[in-house]
Amino acid sequence: MPGPRPVVLSGPSGAGKSTLLKRLIQEYEGVFGFSVSHTTRNPRPGEENGKDYHFTTREKMQESIDNGEFIENAVFSGNMYGTSKLAIEDVQAKNRICILDVDLQGVKNIKQTDLNPIYISIQPPSIEILEKRLRDRQTETEESLQKRLEAARVDMERSKEPGIFDIVIVNDDLEKAYERLKSALITEIQKVQDAKK
């Protein structure tokens, strides 16, 4: 695919992905972009087709998946969601680095494509610290918190396996984690900035 290499960001909920991403996007305005996902669910009030999601039918989406047009897809609450190759190419055509925030299953699916992204895992320093961060949010029931922690344990183990990620960033200090993320992406960032001059 032409354009800057996409970035696949993964890691458990509460590891700090969103915080790090927001800083990156603020510091490098106009350098990053998100691909617009497809879904078979109905639009919610105020959502725009092509902006919030590409709204489609189950039949059309399944046909596109069968034709190899999606790099990853999943079913949540009976609705299909996925990232198409075209959605990523749209971001790259604007000469932006496409960011894909996916779980480990998504990472595995993307590994089977010709996308060639930079794979980055953001991890918490420990499961205990992650549990404290999630409890401090006060947004989880005990049951959903335990499910998240179990998923995080698996995620933390898998992130250590060689060859899955290009870089694993342990977010034990936000400044250091941010500097590591930036240095992992600086070559691509500079390509985008140079092309805009």
Active-site choice (133, 137, 153, 180): 137
Active-site choice (148, 153, 158, 180): 148
Cβ proximity of 7 and 192 under 8 Å: no
In the block, tokens 């949010």 appear at: 137
DSSP label of 49: B
- Check if 135 is active-site: no
- Check if 148 is active-site: yes
Q: Which of 161, 147, 179 is nearest to 14 (CA)?
A: 147
Residues in the chain: 197
Q: Which of 174, 157, 176 is nearest to 165 (CA)?
A: 157
**In angstroms, how far is CA 8 from the centroid of its own chain?**
5
Catalytic residues: 44, 137, 148
